[in-house]
């Protein structure tokens, strides 16, 4: 399978995001990336839009719904939001959107910081495997994968995609 | 059951993850570092407007305190609540055991309440171990201090304090001062410091309050404050535990203060940027001068804040390791 070039997708995403925000009259959104790949994509998006501003970083390990099945992620790091969430328009960025569970966790975490005015969801890739009613507002590409396939983002610069195939245990 | 299973330390699961937290003895540098890293992340949660994460939602944590405590009990309670667990605290010292119930019977009753985790404090050394050995396999046990043996969460919160204020452990000189004999904190700290690579750990106290065989911890022993404090980066003061003393270990509190009290004058022997720690409760004018306890170099109150984060880390990691072990066993049975 041919994977798209993330750097090329970013230009289109930046334009689509600008249009999306303009249509809603959002002038000064705050950007938040989900660790780790989402932070790289958010950083690249900010650069593509020619803006230098503080980027929020979210680590959703404490909010995941699979703690009772998978336990705690051993490399959990602090979330860092260098701005207020209360009343702000937020742009939440992730690299690969699959089931939607990470986004649910991220939304739960964000609301513990305050009540945002709105949240716009941006993803580089949508694997079209959603298990929750969560869809991106802006997406680089939609890429249906076989069940044993995963895609991994390499970064931070240049961004590249890598296809991984898992051999099933059964 | 394979022989390796029998040899596996009680507090780790088959994947080497924390399952109970009983003592720092036998835990690797990597595991201790993971606890500190996780606690760092929980510290950030403590600064939010909503100081709570949903990690242990639906779990029940039972604080079983056979011995009095305020700081440890409340910070464990707060830690469990910030992880969204349901918490009950039993002061057993004032209830059933005084009516003649055995430790095992008390435990069976608590298990029947479907607790997922016990935080145990007991005046007898080894009590937490005993409970971990006899508790149902679904329950994780955390040692909140047992006799003179260990106080591993205090040890780890002291390590977090040192790391946040002084950075890397290796080049530091750390002095532990006072009533070493009765101190489970001293034991946990010596173990943690050596495991984390601290090369110069010193222990200072009067001969009557120094246990025999201290050298096995890889520490240097001093009976003179001036010698021991020279150029240290960290001073950990211990409380003089008069309630555990029988007979004449000390002439008087005044005498102890004259020889081993941490005064402004004595602190000047340490490095100018040295930090002063104390597990609390502090006895002003017995082991520490008020001006030092409240001074710019004191991080005693920071320790309390870090204690909550460390306890959140340990509770969530042990629950995580317990879950992983249960899944392993379930897969083996398939």
B247: exposed, middle or buried (Cβ count in 10 Å: 0-12, 13-18, 19+) = exposed
Question: Other CB atoms closer than 10 Å to residue A79's CB: what's the count?
Answer: 25
- The rounded percent of chain A whose pLDDT value lies above 70 is 98
Considering the domain architecture, whether residues B174 and B265 belong to the same structural domain is answered as: yes
- Residue B237 three-state SS: strand
Stretch A133-149: mean pLDDT, rounded? 92
Q: Does A77 touch chain B (CB under 8 A)?
A: yes
What six digits make up the tokens of A68?
């009772």
Rounded mean pLDDT, A7-11: 92
Q: Is A80 on the interface with B (CB under 8 A)?
A: yes
Task: Say which of B41, B50, B324 has its CB closest to residue A112.
Answer: B50
Q: Are residues B163 and B265 in the same domain?
A: yes
**Partners of residue A66 on adjacent β-strands:** none
Helix axes B127-134, B103-112, angle to 10 degrees: 50
| Chain A residues lying within 8 Å of B50, measured CB to CB | 112-113
| Closest CB to A78 among B41, B50, B324 | B41
What residues of A are in contact with residue B32 (Cβ under 8 Å)?
A: none
Three-state secondary-structure class, residue B109: helix
- Contacts of residue A75 in chain B, CB cutoff 8 Å? 37
Exposure string of B76-109, with b = 16+ CB inside 10 Å and e = fewer, is bbbbbbbbebebeebebbeeeeeeeeebeebbee
In this structure, are B198 and B124 located in the same domain? no
B228 shares a domain with B89: no
Among all residues of chain B, which has the CA nearest to that of A105? B54
For domain A6-165, the question of CATH label 3.40.50.2000 is answered with no
Beta bridge partners of residue A139, listed in sequence order: A123
* B47 reaches A (C-beta below 8 A): no
Find the angle CA(A71)-CA(A75)-CA(A79) to the nearest 5 degrees: 100
For range B65-72, the mean pLDDT = 88
Per CB-CB distance under 8 Å, the chain B contacts of A69 are 323, 327
Based on the structure, what is the number of domains in chain B?
2
Q: Are residues B319 and B179 in the same domain?
A: no
Inform me whether the pLDDT recorded for B228 exceeds 90: yes
Q: Is B333 on the interface with A (CB under 8 A)?
A: no
Sign of torsion over alpha carbons B50, B55, B60, B65:
negative
Return the CA Rg of chain A.
16
Q: Which residues of A touch B317 (CB under 8 A)?
A: 72
How would you write B291-305 as a 3-class SS string? Answer: HHHCCCCECHHHHHH
Considering CB atoms only, which of A67, A76, A79 is closest to B38? A76
Q: A76: which chain B residues are within 8 Å (Cβ-Cβ)?
A: 37-38, 41
Closest-CA residue to B55 (of A108, A118, A136): A108
Which residues of A fall within a CB distance of 8 Å from B316?
A: 62, 72
Question: What is the pLDDT at residue B246?
Answer: 66
**CB-based contacts of B235: which residues, under 8 Å, 6+ apart?**
B175, B177, B229, B262, B267, B270, B274, B275, B276, B277
Report the CATH number that the domain containing residue B309 is assigned in CATH. Answer: 3.40.50.1370
Whether B330 is covered by a domain: the verdict is no
CA dihedral in degrees (B51, B55, B59, B60; nearest 10)? -40
Residue B254 covered by a domain: yes
| pLDDT band of A11, cuts 50, 70, 90 | very high
Cis, bond preceding A48 (omega within 30 deg of 0): no
Model confidence at B147: pLDDT above 50: yes
Across A35-109, the runs of DSSP E, i.e. the strands, are: 55-58, 89-97
pLDDT tens column, B264-308: 999 999 999 999 999 999 999 999 999 999 999 999 999 999 999
Q: Is the peptide bond before B201 cis (omega within 30 degrees of 0)?
A: no
How many helices (H) and strands (E) would you count in chain A? 4, 7
The reply to whether residue A72 touches residue B316, judged by beta carbons under 8 angstroms, is: yes
Whether residue B270 sits in one domain with residue B205:
yes
Q: For residue B287, give the DSSP letter.
A: T
- Residue B17 forms contact with A (CB below 8 Å): yes
Decide if A112 and B55 are in contact by the 8 Å CB cutoff. no
C-beta atoms of A78 and B34 within 8 A:
no
* Helix H or strand E segment including B234: strand B234-237
Residue A167 scores a pLDDT above 60:
yes
* pLDDT at position A16 over 80: yes
Model pLDDT for residues A90-100, shown as the tens digit of each residue: 999 999 999 99
Q: What is the pLDDT of residues A18-67, one digit of tens each?
A: 999 999 999 999 999 999 999 999 999 999 888 788 999 999 999 988 87
| Partner-chain contact A61 B321, CB within 8 Å | no
Residue B315 located in a structural domain: yes
- CB-CB contact of A93 with A34 (8 Å): yes
B269 domain residue, yes or no: yes
Chain B residues in contact with A77 by the CB 8 A cut-off are 37, 40-41
Enclosing domain of residue B107: 3-149+305-323
The ipTM, to two decimals, is 0.80
* Residue among A110, A160, A82 nearest A121 (CA): A110
B129 and B219 within one domain? no
pLDDT band at B239 (very low <50, low <70, confident <90, very high): very high
Residue B329 lies in a domain: no
Same domain, B226 and B193: yes
Q: Give the pLDDT confidence of B24-62 residue by residue, as tens digits.
A: 998 999 999 999 999 999 999 998 888 999 999 999 999
pLDDT attached to residue B103: 79
| Cα angle for residues B52, B55, B60 (degrees, 5° grid) | 95
Cis status of the peptide bond prior to A156, with omega within 30 of 0:
yes
Q: What is the distance of C-alpha B42 from the center of its chain?
A: 17
Q: B41 vs A67: CB contact, 8 Å cut-off?
A: no
How does DSSP assign A102-164, residue by residue? HHHHHHHHHHHH---SEEEEEEEEE-S--SSS---SEEEEE----TTEEEEEE-SSS-EEEEE
| Nearest residue of A to residue B52, measured between CA atoms | A112
Model confidence over B148-206: pLDDT tens digits?
A: 899 999 999 999 999 999 999 999 999 999 999 999 999 999 999 999 999 999 999 99
Instruction: Say how many C-beta atoms besides its own lie within 10 A of residue A13's C-beta.
Output: 26
Does the pLDDT at position B139 exceed 90? Answer: yes
Q: Would the CA dihedral through B214, B219, B224, B225 be positive or negative?
A: negative
Question: Which pLDDT band, with edges at 50, 70 and 90, does A104 fall under?
Answer: very high
Q: How far is B22 from chain A (nearest CA, A)?
A: 20
Tell whether the model's pLDDT for residue A170 goes beyond 60.
no
User: Are B277 and B160 members of one domain?
Assistant: yes
Kindly state the tokens that stand for B232.
């240290």
Whether the Cβ atoms of residue B82 and residue B95 lie closer than 8 Å to each other: no
């Amino acid at each position: 399978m041919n994977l798209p070039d993330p750097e090329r997708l970013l230009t289109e995403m930046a334009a689509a995001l600008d249009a999306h925000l303009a249509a809603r009259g959002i002038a000064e959104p705050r950007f938040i990336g989900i660790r780790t790949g989402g932070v790289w994509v958010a950083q690249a998006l900010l650069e593509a839009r020619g803006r230098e501003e503080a980027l929020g970083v979210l680590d959703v390990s404490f909010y995941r719904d699979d703690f009772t099945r998978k336990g705690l992620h051993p490399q959990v790091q602090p979330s860092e939001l260098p701005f207020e969430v209360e009343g702000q328009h937020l742009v939440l960025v992730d690299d690969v959107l699959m089931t939607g569970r990470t986004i649910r966790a991220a939304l739960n975490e964000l609301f513990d910081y305050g009540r945002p005015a709105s949240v716009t969801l941006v993803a580089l890739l949508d694997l079209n495997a959603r298990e929750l009613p969560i869809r991106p507002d802006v997406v680089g590409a939609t890429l249906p994968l076989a069940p044993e396939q995963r895609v991994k983002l390499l970064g931070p610069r240049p961004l590249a995609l890598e296809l991984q195939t898992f051999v099933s245990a059964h | 059951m394979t022989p390796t299973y029998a040899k596996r330390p009680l507090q780790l699961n088959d994947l080497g993850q924390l399952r109970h937290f009983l003592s720092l003895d036998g835990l690797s540098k990597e595991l201790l570092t993971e606890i500190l890293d996780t606690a760092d992340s929980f510290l950030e949660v403590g600064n939010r407007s909503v100081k709570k994460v949903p990690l242990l939602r639906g779990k029940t944590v039972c604080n079983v305190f056979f011995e009095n405590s305020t700081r440890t009990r409340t910070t464990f309670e707060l830690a469990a609540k910030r992880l969204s667990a349901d918490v009950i605290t039993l002061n057993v010292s004032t209830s059933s055991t005084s009516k003649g119930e055995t430790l095992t019977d008390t435990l069976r009753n608590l298990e029947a309440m479907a607790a997922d985790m016990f935080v145990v404090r007991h005046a007898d050394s080894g009590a937490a171990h005993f409970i971990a050995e006899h508790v149902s396999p679904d329950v994780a046990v955390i040692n909140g201090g047992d006799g003179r043996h260990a106080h591993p969460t205090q040890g780890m919160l002291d390590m977090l304090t040192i790391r946040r204020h002084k950075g890397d452990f290796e080049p530091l000189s750390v002095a532990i001062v006072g009533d070493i004999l009765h101190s489970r904190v001293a034991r946990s700290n010596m173990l943690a410091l050596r495991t984390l690579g601290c090369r110069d750990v010193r222990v200072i106290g009067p001969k009557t309050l120094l246990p025999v065989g201290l050298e096995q911890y890889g520490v240097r022993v001093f009976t003179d404050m001036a010698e021991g404090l020279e150029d240290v980066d960290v001073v950990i003061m211990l409380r003089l535990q008069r309630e555990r003393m029988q007979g004449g270990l000390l002439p008087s509190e005044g005498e102890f203060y004259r020889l081993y009290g941490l005064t402004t004058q004595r602190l000047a022997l340490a490095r100018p940027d040295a930090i002063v720690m104390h597990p609390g409760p502090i006895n002003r004018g017995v082991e520490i001068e008020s001006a030092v306890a409240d001074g710019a170099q004191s991080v005693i109150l920071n320790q309390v804040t870090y204690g909550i984060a460390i306890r959140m880390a340990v509770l969530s990691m042990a629950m995580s390791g317990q879950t992983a072990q249960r899944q392993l066993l379930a897969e083996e049975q398939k």
